[in-house]
Amino acid sequence: MSDLKQRSILITGCSQGGAGNALALQFASKGFRVFATARSLKTLANLQEKNIETLTLDVTDASSITALAAEISSRTGGSLHILFNNAGTLYEAPAVEADPARVRALFNTNVFGLMEVTTAFTPLLLAGVSPGFSPIIVNVASVLARVPNPFASAYNASKAAVASYSDTLRLELQPLGLKVKTLYMGEVSTPLMAAENINFGPQSIYHVVEDSVKARTTTHLTKTMGPAQFAREVVDEVLSGKNASIWKDISTSKVLDVTGNQGSSVENAFLNLQGWCIRGITRNPSSLAAQQRPSKEVEIVKADLDDIASLESAFRGASAIFAVTDIYNHFFNPANFAKAQEAGISVNEYACNLEITQAMKIAIAANLPDVSSTLTHFVFSSLSDTKPWSKGRYTWNFHFDGKARVVKRIREELPDLAAKPSTVQSEMPEVKLPWIIADRYIGVYVKVLLENSPRKNVLAYIQTATWCEFWTLWADVRNVKIDIKVVGLGDFFKILPEFFGGSSKTH
């Protein structure tokens, strides 16, 4: 956006401590002329100290809205460049026990007030249209409009109404030169949520869970994103002009194969970090492995690696995805032996093809608009392509080469996603091999990747050792005796079952 100092923005709901207050400060730091509003000027004192223009506004009062529109029009010469509808309130109560008067009051603020403010300021925004610049309306909805939380039915419904209103408004105003963005706001540590505001009462049919609901609210203040961080990220996305929908929750990381060693390691690395919400993805949430996971704080989501639609649903809203595939799940499936024979290839190659297919479905799902709009990092657990560095000697190392082919195909077939992936891999150089304890350390490397810009590749290992050193250590730990014998390639293939690698003549 050019000439930022000539641009103006109106933000509603800017009381100190809230998200609107932080947004006002952040837009001001970008050079905007900021009009910050609240019901009382006393709650805007910190903004006045920063020379931000503060005004009173009650979004439920039509005369207050009209007066503000006239005042801002007189100050700007009749135009406005961004309208940020942030004002909102919260009411928590069981759906069937909610006070109708409080529900109506909530809708008056969250929905009808937002609509009236938009109507009043649209003429000023239309006056701000110029060659190369489209004024913006940002309407604050909530992730709860799409993923509802219990005991907040009125709030959830009001934000769903805002989201639907925004979608329609976008269609109507785009031909006139205005942009409409919907901000799906997640949990931000503001005074909006307070445990003391929750009071089901002893007669409530839910009174036994009231303390748990209050505890959830208390946790919200300690484990969620702060207003300043929220404002920085939101302002950057609003000004980028790329997405009509902005999802800004506590950073959400989707972890595929959360029941495996690598997935559980990523879970452990991020579980206690402030501002991260971990959602584990597995084919069977009721499996023994899923049920026996040590952490109960991670949401388990069902998805099938063979079903793009289920992956898209599981990925939606993620800021980061850690993806891992496993060739050996296919290799040790007895049903695939006959299928490989029918196809005229080894079970190794058949399993590799299945792994590549699943990995590409993961990538395709991550590249869909509803997922990519929030995604900043796509981390794929990869291995190196052995053909180039072996100068063509190794042509059957499907465990390595399949994953390398996936990375290549993402770059060639999904250029938008290719701007986001990072890879973490453990390769096999000659003599000294890099080793890693996957369930303990993979998550550490993934954490480093997400702390940096995308498109970084990491060789993940904690020490090097030859195979002889590895098995000597293994025998010592297991307290068993072993004999280590180096054999030639011909003897090696004689030892292996035919289905494992086949003969060197056919691969």
Residue type at 382 in one-letter notation? S
| Residues found in the chain | 507
Beta strands in 232-294 (DSSP E): 245-248, 251-256, 276-282
CB count, 10 Å around CB of 507?
16
Rounded distance between C-alpha atoms, residue 77 and residue 64, angstroms: 20
Give the burial string for 440-472 (b: 16+ CB within 10 Å, else e): ebbbebbbebbeeebebebebbeeebeeeeeee
CB count, 10 Å around CB of 1?
16
Rounded distance between C-alpha atoms, residue 123 and residue 227, angstroms: 31
Rounded distance between C-alpha atoms, residue 92 and residue 90, angstroms: 7
Q: Which of 346, 299, 353, 302 is nearest to 325 (CA)?
A: 353
Rounded distance between C-alpha atoms, residue 121 and residue 125, angstroms: 6
Rounded distance between C-alpha atoms, residue 461 and residue 289, angstroms: 26
> Which residues does the annotation mark as catalytic?
155, 159
Q: Which of 140, 149, 115, 135 is nearest to 9 (CA)?
A: 135
HSE-CB at 284 with a 13 A cutoff on CA atoms is: 7
